């Protein structure tokens, strides 16, 4: 098996008043979309800046695409695309000037490629960046991160400030990158931003990884509200006893309940009746995600 795209061991970064990282063990496999979740100040940006060799670790090891950022930084960054949540650049230049320059730093990106991405995101390349709205400025950032088709995309809170259209297009680009076998490492403080695309999510808190889970598993574990409409009224007791089912209420022919985990038992029980309609809400991973936090807080408060 190929080396992981990102691998850190016991990564520590202390600086000033900030605690930074307190021992981060992170492993991102090649070809996956990894959501890096945590509240503001948990160490997400610190991790990303360490991967890019913008800052240096206090202790621990980092390997990115099999290379060490500190030693092989220049060659390594050729293979990486990076987008910061707050994409700041000198506003006096046009988007095209900036993108041409950044492309040249990478050994040249064809003009047609830049035009294609700009057209896709509906970005006017010939306006000065100063005159662009926040969303349009962020589009420039998206173009520069994707234009050279990097092996690894490192995206720090990428969709903050993007309008729904752009978010949709952006997520499609992330999916395409994965389909091409590229790796995407994406940080966020909201689950909804990554749950649509990520294969796995890692949750960081106070500078270390609290948990890593497959999004599919999270979905399975998540609580969802289910509403089943039957042809005839059903008994509440029959459903209340099922594993994972709670808060059952029956109003006429409509049954509402909360479902924790797999839907199997509920579906099989319902199949004994004539089912007219079935409605299951998309599970709220946010709730589950914050469940980790509150549990963590409870443990640390008890200690």
Q: Which residues bind another protein (CB under 8 A)?
A: 15, 45, 49, 52-56, 73-78, 80, 82, 84, 86-90, 92-93, 97, 100-102, 104-107, 144
Q: Where are the alpha helices (DSSP H) in the chain?
A: 44-51, 73-77, 95-105, 111-121, 134-146, 164-179, 191-195, 215-221, 236-240, 264-270, 285-302
DSSP helix/strand/coil, 23:
strand
How far apart are alpha carbons 51 and 143 in whole angstroms? 21
Least Cβ distance, residue 208 to another protein (angstroms): 20
Least Cβ distance, residue 160 to another protein (angstroms): 15
By beta-carbon proximity to another protein, the closer residue of 81 and 202 is 81
With 0-12 CB in 10 A as exposed, 13-18 as middle and 19+ as buried, what is 205? buried
By beta-carbon proximity to another protein, the closer residue of 106 and 208 is 106
By beta-carbon proximity to another protein, the closer residue of 115 and 238 is 115
How far apart are alpha carbons 258 and 260 in whole angstroms? 7
By beta-carbon proximity to another protein, the closer residue of 86 and 282 is 86
How far apart are alpha carbons 115 and 96 in whole angstroms? 9
Pairing of the two strands 152-156 and 183-188: parallel
Least Cβ distance, residue 63 to another protein (angstroms): 18
| Strand-pair partners of 255 | 228, 250
Least Cβ distance, residue 280 to another protein (angstroms): 42
Q: Please give the structure tokens belonging to residue 82.
A: 């990076």
Angle at 136 between CA 132 and CA 138, to 5 degrees: 115
Least Cβ distance, residue 38 to another protein (angstroms): 17
By beta-carbon proximity to another protein, the closer residue of 75 and 298 is 75
By beta-carbon proximity to another protein, the closer residue of 105 and 298 is 105
Least Cβ distance, residue 87 to another protein (angstroms): 8
């Amino acid at each position: 098996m190929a080396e992981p795209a990102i691998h850190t061991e016991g990564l520590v970064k202390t600086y000033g008043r900030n605690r930074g990282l307190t021992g981060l063990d992170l492993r991102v496999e090649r070809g996956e979309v990894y959501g890096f979740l945590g509240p503001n100040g948990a160490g997400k940006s610190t991790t990303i800046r360490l991967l890019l060799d913008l800052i240096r670790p206090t202790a621990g090891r980092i390997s990115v695409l099999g290379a060490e950022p500190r030693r092989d930084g220049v060659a390594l960054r050729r293979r990486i695309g990076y987008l910061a949540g707050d994409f700041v650049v000198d506003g006096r230049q046009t988007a095209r000037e900036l993108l041409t320059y950044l492309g040249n730093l990478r050994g040249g990106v064809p003009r047609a490629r830049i035009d294609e991405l700009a057209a896709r995101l509906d970005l006017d390349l010939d306006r000065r960046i100063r005159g662009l709205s926040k969303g349009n400025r962020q589009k420039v950032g998206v173009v520069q991160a994707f234009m050279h088709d990097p092996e690894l995309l490192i995206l720090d809170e990428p969709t903050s400030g993007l309008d729904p259209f752009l978010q949709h297009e952006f997520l499609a680009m992330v999916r395409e990158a994965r389909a091409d076998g590229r790796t995407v490492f994406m940080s966020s403080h909201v689950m909804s931003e990554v749950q649509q695309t990520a294969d796995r999510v890692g949750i960081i808190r106070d500078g270390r990884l609290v948990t890593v889970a497959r999004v599919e598993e999270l979905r399975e574990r998540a609580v969802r509200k289910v509403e089943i409409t039957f042809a005839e009224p059903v008994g509440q007791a029959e459903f209340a006893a099922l594993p994972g089912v709670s808060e059952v209420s029956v109003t006429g022919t409509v049954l509402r309940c909360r479902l924790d985990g797999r839907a199997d038992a509920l579906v099989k029980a319902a199949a004994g009746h004539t089912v007219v309609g079935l409605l299951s809400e998309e599970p709220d991973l946010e709730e589950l995600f914050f469940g980790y936090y509150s549990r963590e807080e409870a443990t640390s408060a008890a200690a």
